Amino acid sequence: MGFEEQEGVYDTRIEAEETVAECEGKADPIFHELNGVEGLQVEDILQMEFCTPEEARCFYNSYSRLKGFATRQGKKVPNKVGEIVRYTFVCNRQGFRDKKWLEMADRKREHKVVTHCGCLAEMRIKRKDGSGKWYVSRFLDNHNHELVAGKYVDYLRSHRGLSDVEIAHLTSLREVGISIPKIYQSFAAQVGGFNLVRFTKQDMYNEVRKQRSLQNGDVNAAVRYLEGVARVDNRMYWRYTLGQDNNMCDLFWSDGRSQLDYGIFGDVLAFDATYGRNKYNLLVVVFSGVNHHNQTCIFGAAMVSCETQESYIWVLEKFLECMEGKPPNAVITDGDPAMRIAIHEVFPEAHHRLCAWHLLRNATSNICDPRFTHLFRQCMLADLEVHEFEAHWDAMLDECGVREVDWVKDLYRRKHAWATAYIRGRFFAGIRTTSRCESLHAKLGRFVESRYGILEFVTNFQRCIDFLHDNEDELDFRSSYGTPVLQTEFVELEKSGWTKYTRKMFFRYRETLRRCVRVKICHCDVSDSGEVYILQKYRRPEQTWEVRWERASNKFSCDCMRMESFGLPCVHIVAVLVG
């Protein structure tokens, strides 16, 4: 994850080399623009004095800008006590490239163009005894190369660079997820055109790398960022592992708000892994669930180096540690084998459900029969009883001729992980696919890009989480503000639903109120412990449901088990309440 070294080492004539570009962008000196510089003669410059070496450097750089060449600082000569008494500023094309860089046989990258041609142009200054000023002791203006035309001067290295204000503006825009090319367009719009911007996009990328190197690398910068967040959020949790050469292998983190959400909504955990959201192609694993607005919420995230059983076990163990040992009751994934083994080891009591979307995609690729995919979808997602599922499954095998296909046999053996008929009664908060994860990845794509390193990914990922938290706060407000316009004849039940549920969930509950009139009570058995109701749909006498009411606990249950699966009263229980 380090950065490649710049090519080129120059001969001994370039001693103490230091580009003047490092000073570019500071407060403009008095010599930044020279009037009548074309008329300056060597004799005139040799008569000049400067208060500081920096002032001399700025003069020579401004002179070179108008002449059409770039400069850099050359040799510095100290006296016996170590004080610098002589500075040399040279043309940027002084010296020669070391031959060893030109003769490398195993080089993979293309050589950079050779710009150093041994130009002898320079300006030398010495300290003036007594006054402390600096005078020009030598000035050579003989170039052995063509000077650059005026419209290209701004591309020369010493004449371009970002000021402190521009760096601060660049940093603030990057923190909100704006890309470098768009920031460059913003600078161009402010100054009136691209030709007036005194730096390039590459200079902006270099500044980003410079800032990262000052923080001792991408991983260290990300860790320092998390440490900074922890100073504000005392529940911020992060852990990472290092591999060979101290390279980061795995990273897991979760903020305090996400941990609180898991404490409330963590019965169901969905997670999926995706590539392409970071510079190093590290696998990104997002742990998510569903909140009381039926909205996806994030519990934590991880970046792992490979999809191995060991990596997934480490991540899940850190997740469990972060959540104070509370495991989920149900987990839904895309069915990755290493992930499945890790879940069984870390969350042994959790029911593992396979993503319906991935199963349908696998059905298409393994069977290659649209009819099979259609019938399989019905078997998997239709609200069937167990005996109905078995009948539909046998009919599908015969119709499509896949009874002896190994993939189909293995799929049937795992029916408790995907068939609605066998999953009924287990709470999955309405999640049947990892499409919520896929949708979450799409939202995440608005904040992070594949070119981001670890620091940029983590900071912008947290911005995405803050965005989702803000959406949740807004929905909390809308659910508590105002009163509904009642639309059913069951006024009291509708009012009760409004006070108990968020607005999103209330709309679902009200739809159940509307449909309850399609169900009628056929029979009721009364006992000391409670009552048992037998219901059926109008004109569907062959199918019945049994609703029980326990007098002591005042609880209702239905053998359809939809309330246990989705968390809302089913239409049969509501029909009993209405009746």
DSSP codes joined into one string, 368-432? --HHHHHHHHHHHHS---HHHHHHHHHHHHHHHT-TT-HHHHHHHHTGGGT-HHHHTTS--TT--
Mean pLDDT calculated for residue range 409-438: 77
Mean pLDDT calculated for residue range 385-401: 91
Q: Write the DSSP symbol of residue 5.
A: P
pLDDT surpassing 60 at residue 275: no
**Sign of CA pseudo-dihedral 467, 472, 475, 477:** negative
Over pLDDT 90: what percentage of the chain?
Answer: 25
What pLDDT is attached to residue 223? 84
In this structure, are residues 228 and 241 in contact, taking their beta carbons and an 8 Å threshold?
Answer: no
Mean pLDDT calculated for residue range 223-249: 82
pLDDT surpassing 60 at residue 319: yes
Instruction: Please indicate, yes or no, whether residues 91 and 177 belong to a single structural domain of this protein.
Output: no
What pLDDT is attached to residue 4? 36
Domain boundary among 159, 180, 200: 159
The parent domain of residue 362 ranges over: 356-423
pLDDT surpassing 90 at residue 322: yes
What pLDDT is attached to residue 409? 93
Mean pLDDT calculated for residue range 392-396: 93
Three-class secondary structure of residue 44 per DSSP? helix
Residues 6+ apart with CB under 8 A from 284: 273, 274, 275, 277, 278, 301, 302, 303, 457
What pLDDT is attached to residue 408? 92
- Per the rule left: phi > 0, alpha: psi between -120 and 50, beta: everything else, 368 is left
Over pLDDT 70: what percentage of the chain?
Answer: 84
In this structure, are residues 289 and 304 in contact, taking their beta carbons and an 8 Å threshold?
Answer: no
Mean pLDDT calculated for residue range 385-407: 91
**Is residue 68 in some structural domain?**
yes
What pLDDT is attached to residue 69? 92
pLDDT surpassing 80 at residue 412: yes
What pLDDT is attached to residue 8? 37
Instruction: Please indicate, yes or no, whether residues 341 and 455 belong to a single structural domain of this protein.
Output: yes
- Give the helix/strand (H/E) hosting 237: strand 237-242
Instruction: Please indicate, yes or no, whether residues 394 and 498 belong to a single structural domain of this protein.
Output: no
pLDDT surpassing 50 at residue 10: no
Three-class secondary structure of residue 459 per DSSP? helix
* Location of structure tokens 């870390």: 346
DSSP bridge partners of 240: 251
pLDDT surpassing 60 at residue 277: no
Which region among 183-192, 270-279, 382-391, 491-500 has the lowest average model confidence (pLDDT)? 270-279
Instruction: Please indicate, yes or no, whether residues 285 and 366 belong to a single structural domain of this protein.
Output: no
Mean pLDDT calculated for residue range 74-98: 89
What pLDDT is attached to residue 424? 80
What pLDDT is attached to residue 142? 87
Q: What's the residue count for the chain?
A: 579
Continuous H helices in 447-490: 454-480
Instruction: Please indicate, yes or no, whether residues 204 and 285 belong to a single structural domain of this protein.
Output: no
**Is residue 536 in some structural domain?**
yes
Which amino acid does the sequence have at 175?
A: E
Mean pLDDT calculated for residue range 338-350: 89
The total of structural domains in the chain comes to: 5
> Where residue 131 falls among pLDDT bands split at 50, 70, 90?
confident
> Where residue 3 falls among pLDDT bands split at 50, 70, 90?
very low
Which region among 18-32, 243-257, 403-417 has the lowest average model confidence (pLDDT)? 18-32
Which region among 34-38, 289-293, 445-449 has the lowest average model confidence (pLDDT)? 34-38
Write down the mean pLDDT value for the chain: 81
Which region among 203-207, 314-318, 475-479 has the lowest average model confidence (pLDDT)? 203-207
> Where residue 279 falls among pLDDT bands split at 50, 70, 90?
low
Contacts 24+ apart (CB under 8 A), 502-511: 502/292, 502/293, 502/475, 502/476, 503/293, 503/475, 503/478, 503/479, 504/293, 504/294, 504/295, 504/475, 504/479, 505/292, 505/293, 505/294, 505/568, 508/294, 508/568, 509/568, 509/569
**Is residue 482 in some structural domain?**
no
Could you give the CA distance from residue 168 to residue 174 in angstroms, rounded to a whole number? 10
**Is residue 189 in some structural domain?**
yes
> Where residue 564 falls among pLDDT bands split at 50, 70, 90?
confident
What pLDDT is attached to residue 278? 52
What pLDDT is attached to residue 156? 82
**Sign of CA pseudo-dihedral 174, 4, 21, 86:** positive
**Is residue 473 in some structural domain?**
no
Instruction: Please indicate, yes or no, whether residues 286 and 382 belong to a single structural domain of this protein.
Output: no
Instruction: Please indicate, yes or no, whether residues 415 and 305 belong to a single structural domain of this protein.
Output: no
**Sign of CA pseudo-dihedral 311, 312, 314, 315:** positive
Mean pLDDT calculated for residue range 425-429: 77
Instruction: Please indicate, yes or no, whether residues 230 and 351 belong to a single structural domain of this protein.
Output: yes
What pLDDT is attached to residue 576? 92
In this prediction the pTM is 0.62
Closest CA to 447 of 175, 221, 257, 254: 175
Instruction: Please indicate, yes or no, whether residues 119 and 33 belong to a single structural domain of this protein.
Output: yes
> Where residue 260 falls among pLDDT bands split at 50, 70, 90?
very high
Domain boundary among 112, 144, 159: 159
Instruction: Please indicate, yes or no, whether residues 243 and 342 belong to a single structural domain of this protein.
Output: yes
**Is residue 107 in some structural domain?**
yes
pLDDT surpassing 60 at residue 154: yes
Q: Which of 212-216, 268-272, 551-555 has the highest mean pLDDT?
A: 551-555
Instruction: Please indicate, yes or no, whether residues 84 and 148 belong to a single structural domain of this protein.
Output: yes
**Is residue 334 in some structural domain?**
yes
**Is residue 485 in some structural domain?**
no
Q: Write the DSSP symbol of residue 97.
A: B
> Where residue 24 falls among pLDDT bands split at 50, 70, 90?
very low
pLDDT surpassing 50 at residue 336: yes
pLDDT surpassing 50 at residue 34: no
What pLDDT is attached to residue 435? 52
Q: What angle do CA 576, 577, 579 make, to 5 degrees?
A: 60
Instruction: Please indicate, yes or no, whether residues 391 and 523 belong to a single structural domain of this protein.
Output: no
